[in-house]
C-alpha cells in the first residue's frame, strides 16, 4: 500500500484525477437524489404534469451546466484559499485578477479577429494562447498587487490589509474601465465568434428518448480546469517550492530558519493563485461570452463562498466547495421555477449561493473538509 | 581554534521593551557554550538576534569575522547558522521526511541531502520508523529529535539549541544531551540555551549567565558549577 502511495504516477495523476471525479460524481448524485426525493414528496401538488418526469427530463443537462460553472468556481477558489493558507488573509482583489484574465483573453481573440487570423487559426490554439496570456498577465498582476498593496502592511492588524484588498479591488475595476474606455471607447468586451466549440456532442444514452447533449465548450472548460488542478497538485505536493509554500503556511518563523525566503514564497503563492484565476477568467469568458470590468465581482464572491464552504485554507476543500456550489446554483436555477410553479425563477439562484455561505458560517465555520493549514506560531 | 561567533555590545528590542542590554559573548570553533539564566533573562532573544529573526538596534553580530547583524534570517542560514527554536517549530502537516527536506532547503545537491538524511536516521533511529508520519503527530521527544535532525540537515558551522530538554522525560533528556555531546565531538560548534543549568554545564566548555538582558558572569563551565551565586540561583544548592 505504501509503495502504491509513493508511486509518482499514482500520487500526481491518478489520485488527484480520481479525487476530482469522485467529488464531481458524488456531489451530482447526492444533489440529484435530494431533488428527486423532493419531487416525489411534492408530486401531488402538481396536477397538470408529472413533476418527477419533468425533473428527470432535464437532469443530465442541469448536472453538466453545474459542473461546468463549478469547475470555474473551484479554479478561482484555489487562489483565495492558497493566499489564505500562507497569509491568513482574504485577498478580495482576486475577483479582479480573475476579471483581468478574462478580458485579456477576449482582447487577444479580438486582436486575432481584427487581423483576420482568427478565421484561419485552429480554434483550440486560439483558446490555448488566450489562456497562456491570461496566466501570465493575471499572475504578474497578482504579484504586483501583493508587492504594492499588501507587503508594506505585513505585521499590521489583520483588518488593515483586508481593507487595502477591498480598495485594490475597486482600483483595478476602474483602472480596467479607464484603459478600455481610452483604447476601445467602451468597456464591454464581447467574445468574438469563431470555431465550432459552441456546438453539441450528441450522445445516445440507452433508456433515454433524447440523446444527451454535451456542449463541446463545457467539456473544454471542465477538461482544462482538471488539467490545471492536476498541475497545481503537482506543484504544491511534488516540488521543493510547493513544500516551501506549505512550510510557510504552517509556521512562518520556522520556515525562515530553514533558509526559506518567506517574502519570495508569498509572492510565488500570489503568482500561482493569480495565474489560476486568470485562466479561470478565460474559461468563464468562453461561457459568459461578454465581460465588463465589474463582472469579476459575482463569480469572485461565489468562489470565495466555495472556498469557505470547503474549508478556507484547504486546497481540496476549495475544489469540492466550487463543485458543490456550481451544482447547487445550477439546480436552483433550473428547478426553483418548476417547484414553485413559477413564483421563483432562475434569477433567485444567487440567493442560494449566499444562503449557503451564511449557513456554513453558522453551523460549520471550518467548512466541509475543515481547516488543515495547521497551527500558526 | 578561532572565534566563530562574536557578539559585541548587542542591544535588542521587542517594540519598546529593551530585551538585550549590551550583550557581548563569543563562541570558539569546536566549543559547546551554554547560556543560562531564568525566564525572561534574554536567552532566547540572544539566539533570535543571532539568527536574524530580530535585528539588533546597536552592536554587532559577527560570524567568522563577517558582520551578519542586519542580514535576513534566511540569508544567515546560508552562512551556516542552524537554529533549533524554542518549542521546536516542527511543521505539523509535513511528514518527517519533508520536515528534514526543509532543513536542507538551501542545499541543492541531492546526494548530499540523502547522505545527511541517512546520518540523521542513524543518530535518531526512531525518526526512521516515522518517515511518512506528519510532524504534528509525533510525541514531544520525537519532535525534539526531528527539530535537532532538521537542524543537522544544514550541516551548520554552529548549531544553536533553544531549550532542547523542555517538557521531556528524564530518559529522553539524557538521550538528547548525549547526542549534543556526540555532535560536538564530531566537530559541530554548539550554542546551548537551557533551563536545566546543571545538565547544560555538565556538557559545556564555557558558560554565560544572563540576568535581565545583561551578562553578569562568565567562566569555564566547571568553575561556574562551583560558583556560589550560580549554585544558589540556578542549581538549587543552598
Whole-number Å distance between alpha carbons of A56 and A67: 17
Q: Which tens digits make up the pLDDT trace of B145-166?
A: 999 999 999 999 999 999 998 8
Return the CA Rg of chain B: 17
Q: Say if A155 is an interface residue toward chain B (CB within 8 Å).
A: no
What secondary structure, in 3-state letters, does A250-313 show? HCHHHHHHCCCCHHHHHHHHHHHHHHHHHHHHHHHHHHHCEECCCCCHHHHHHHHHHHHHHCCC
- What grid cell was written down for A316? 481540496
User: Cα–Cα distance between A339 and A122 in angstroms, integer?
Assistant: 44
Q: Is the minimum CB–CB distance between B22 and chain A shorter than 8 Å?
A: no
Query: Quick check: A206 pLDDT over 80?
Result: no
Mean pLDDT of chain A: 90
Q: Which three cell numbers stand for residue B146?
A: 526531528
- pLDDT of A370 > 80? The answer is no
Average pLDDT over residues A175-197: 89
Pairing assessment for the beta strands B189-193 and B32-36 based on DSSP bridges: parallel
> A275 with A82: CB under 8 angstroms?
no
Identify the pLDDT of residue A374.
Answer: 41
CA distances (Å), origin A362, targets A194, A355, A367, A369 = 46, 11, 10, 15
Tell me which residue of A264, A67, A285 sits closest to A197, measured CA to CA: A285
Give the residue from B44, B50, B93, B152 with the most A CB atoms within 10 Å of its CB, the best one to mutate: B93
Instruction: Please tell me which residue, B47 or A46, carries the higher pLDDT value.
Output: B47
Predicted confidence at residue B189, as pLDDT, reads 96
Q: Residue range B197-218: average pLDDT?
A: 93
C-alpha span between A247 and A256 (Å, rounded): 9
Closest chain A residue to B88 measured between Cα atoms? Answer: A254
Mean pLDDT, rounded, of chain B: 92
CB contact B116 to A (< 8 Å): no
Work out the average pLDDT over B192-205. 92
Q: Is the pLDDT of residue A2 over 60?
A: no
CATH topology of domain B1-80+158-163+192-238: Rossmann fold (3.40.50)
Of A243, A256, A262, the CB nearest to B98: A243
pLDDT at A357: 81
Q: Does A266 touch chain B (CB under 8 A)?
A: no
Chain B residue nearest residue A2, CA to CA:
B132
A167 shares contact with chain B (CB less than 8 Å): no
Distance, CA of B107 to CA of B101 (rounded, Å): 9
How is residue B106 annotated by DSSP?
Answer: T
Smallest Cα distance from A150 to chain B, Å = 20
Encode pLDDT of A332-362 as tens digits. Answer: 999 988 888 888 888 888 887 788 888 888 8
Q: Measure CA of the first residue to CA of the last residue in chain A; give whole Å.
A: 34
How far is residue B234's CA from residue B38's CA, in Å, rounded to a whole number? Answer: 8
Q: Which residues of A touch B85 (CB under 8 A)?
A: 253-254, 257
Q: Do B77 and A258 touch (CB under 8 A)?
A: yes
Which chain B residue has its CA at the smallest distance from A6's CA? B132
Segment B212-232, tens digit of pLDDT:
999 999 999 999 988 888 888
Is A29 touching B (CB cutoff 8 A)?
A: no
Of A243, A374, A377, the CB nearest to B102: A243
Q: Does A372 touch chain B (CB under 8 A)?
A: yes
In this prediction, residues A188-213 reach a mean pLDDT of 82
In chain A, the residue whose alpha carbon lies closest to the alpha carbon of B155 is: A258
Does residue A137 or residue B2 have the better pLDDT?
Answer: A137
Measured on CA atoms in the order B155, B159, B162, B167, is the torsion positive or negative?
A: positive
B156 near A CB under 8 A: no
- Look at residue A107 in the predicted model and tell me its pLDDT: 94
Q: What's the CA angle centered on A81, arms A215 and A34, to 5 degrees? A: 50
Closest Cβ opposite residue B94 in set A243, A260, A262: A243
Give the strands of the sheet with B81-84, arranged side by side. B81-84, B158-162, B189-193, B32-36, B206-211, B214-220
**How many other CB atoms are there within 10 angstroms of residue A177's CB atom?**
15
Classified by CATH at the fold level, domain A2-363 comes out as ABC transporter involved in vitamin B12 uptake, BtuC (1.10.3470)
Q: What is the pLDDT of residue A96?
A: 97
Average the pLDDT over B183-197 and give the result. Answer: 92
Q: What is the DSSP letter of B170?
A: H
How many of the other CB atoms lie within 10 Å of CB of A51?
Answer: 21
| Chain A nearest C-alpha distance from B46 (Å) | 15
B120-142 residue pLDDT tens:
999 999 999 999 999 999 998 99
- Mean per-residue pLDDT, A70-84: 95
Backbone angles phi, psi at B33, to 5 degrees: -120, 140
Check if B132 contacts A (Cβ < 8 Å).
yes
Question: Dihedral sign, CA of A16, A22, A28, A30?
Answer: negative
Q: Does A267 touch chain B (CB under 8 A)?
A: no
Residue B31's pLDDT is 95
On the question of pLDDT at A112 being above 50, the answer is yes
Contact at CB, B154 and A373, closer than 8 angstroms: no
- Nearest CB to B74 within list A240, A261, A373: A261
Amino acid at each position: 500500500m505504501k509503495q502504491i502511495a509513493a508511486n509518482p504516477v499514482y500520487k500526481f495523476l491518478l489520485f488527484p484525477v480520481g479525487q476530482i471525479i469522485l467529488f464531481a460524481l458524488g456531489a451530482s448524485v447526492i444533489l440529484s437524489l435530494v431533488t428527486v426525493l423532493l419531487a416525489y414528496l411534492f408530486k401531488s401538488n402538481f396536477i397538470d404534469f408529472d413533476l418527477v418526469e419533468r425533473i428527470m427530463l432535464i437532469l443530465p443537462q442541469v448536472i453538466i451546466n453545474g459542473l461546468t460553472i463549478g469547475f470555474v468556481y473551484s479554479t478561482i477558489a484555489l487562489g483565495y484559499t492558497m493566499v489564505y493558507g500562507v497569509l491568513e488573509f482574504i485577498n478580495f482583489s482576486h475577483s479582479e485578477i480573475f476579471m483581468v484574465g478574462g478580458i485579456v483573453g477576449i482582447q487577444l481573440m479580438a486582436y486575432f479577429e481584427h487581423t483576420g487570423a482568427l478565421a484561419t487559426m485552429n480554434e483550440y490554439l486560439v483558446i490555448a494562447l488566450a489562456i497562456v496570456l491570461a496566466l501570465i498577465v493575471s499572475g504578474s498582476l497578482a504579484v504586483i498587487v501583493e508587492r504594492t498593496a499588501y507587503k508594506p502592511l505585513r505585521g499590521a492588524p489583520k483588518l488593515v490589509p483586508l481593507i487595502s484588498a477591498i480598495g485594490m479591488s475597486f482600483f483595478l475595476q476602474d483602472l480596467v474601465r479607464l484603459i478600455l474606455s481610452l483604447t476601445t471607447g467602451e468597456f464591454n468586451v464581447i467574445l468574438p465568434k469563431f470555431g465550432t466549440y459552441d456546438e453539441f456532442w450528441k450522445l445516445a444514452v440507452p433508456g433515454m428518448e433524447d440523446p444527451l447533449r454535451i456542449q463541446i465548450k463545457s467539456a473544454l472548460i471542465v477538461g482544462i480546469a482538471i488539467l490545471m488542478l492536476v498541475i497545481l497538485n503537482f506543484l504544491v505536493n511534488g516540488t521543493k517550492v510547493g513544500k516551501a509554500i506549505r512550510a510557510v503556511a504552517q509556521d512562518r518563523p520556522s520556515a525562515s530558519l530553514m533558509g526559506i525566503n518567506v517574502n519570495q514564497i508569498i509572492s510565488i503563492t500570489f503568482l500561482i493563485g493569480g495565474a489560476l484565476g486568470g485562466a479561470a477568467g478565460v474559461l468563464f469568458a468562453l461561457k459568459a461570452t461578454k465581460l465588463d470590468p465589474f463582472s469579476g465581482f459575482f463569480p469572485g464572491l461565489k468562489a470565495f463562498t466555495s472556498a469557505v464552504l470547503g474549508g478556507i485554507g484547504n486546497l481540496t476543500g476549495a475544489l469540492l466547495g466550487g463543485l458543490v456550489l456550481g451544482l447547487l446554483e445550477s439546480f436552483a436555477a433550473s428547478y426553483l421555477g418548476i417547484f414553485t410553479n413559477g413564483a421563483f425563477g432562475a434569477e433567485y439562484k444567487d440567493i442560494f449561493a449566499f444562503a449557503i455561505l451564511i449557513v456554513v458560517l453558522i453551523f460549520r465555520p471550518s467548512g466541509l473538509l475543515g481547516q488543515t493549514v495547521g497551527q500558526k506560531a | 581554534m578561532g572565534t566563530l561567533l562574536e557578539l559585541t555590545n548587542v542591544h535588542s528590542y521587542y517594540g519598546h521593551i529593551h530585551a538585550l542590554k549590551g550583550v557581548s559573548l563569543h563562541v570558539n570553533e569546536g566549543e559547546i557554550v551554554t547560556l543560562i539564566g531564568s525566564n525572561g533573562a534574554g536567552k532566547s532573544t540572544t539566539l533570535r538576534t543571532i539568527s536574524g529573526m530580530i535585528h539588533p538596534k546597536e552592536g554587532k553580530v559577527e560570524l567568522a569575522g563577517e558582520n551578519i547583524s542586519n542580514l535576513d534570517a534566511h540569508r544567515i542560514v546560508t552562512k551556516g547558522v542552524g537554529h533549533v527554536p524554542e518549542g521546536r517549530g516542527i511543521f505539523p502537516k509535513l511528514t518527517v521526511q519533508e520536515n528534514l527536506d526543509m532543513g536542507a532547503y538551501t542545499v541543492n545537491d541531492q546526494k548530499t541531502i540523502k547522505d545527511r538524511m541517512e546520518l540523521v536516521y542513524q543518530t535518531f533511529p526512531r525518526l526512521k520508523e516515522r518517515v511518512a508520519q506528519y510532524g504534528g503527530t509525533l510525541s514531544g521527544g520525537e519532535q525534539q529529535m526531528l527539530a535537532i535532525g532538521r537542524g543537522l540537515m544544514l550541516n551548520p558551522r554552529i548549531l544553536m539549541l533553544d531549550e532542547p530538554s523542555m517538557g521531556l522525560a528524564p530518559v529522553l533528556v539524557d538521550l538528547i544531551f548525549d547526542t549534543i555531546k556526540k555532535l560536538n565531538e564530531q566537530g559541530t560548534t554548539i550554542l546551548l540555551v537551557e533551563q536545566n543549568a546543571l545538565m547544560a554545564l555538565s556538557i559545556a566548555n564555557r558558560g554565560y549567565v544572563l540576568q535581565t538582558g545583561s551578562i553578569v558572569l562568565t567562566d569555564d563551565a566547571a568553575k561556574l558549577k562551583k560558583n556560589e551565586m550560580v549554585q544558589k540561583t540556578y542549581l538549587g544548592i543552598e
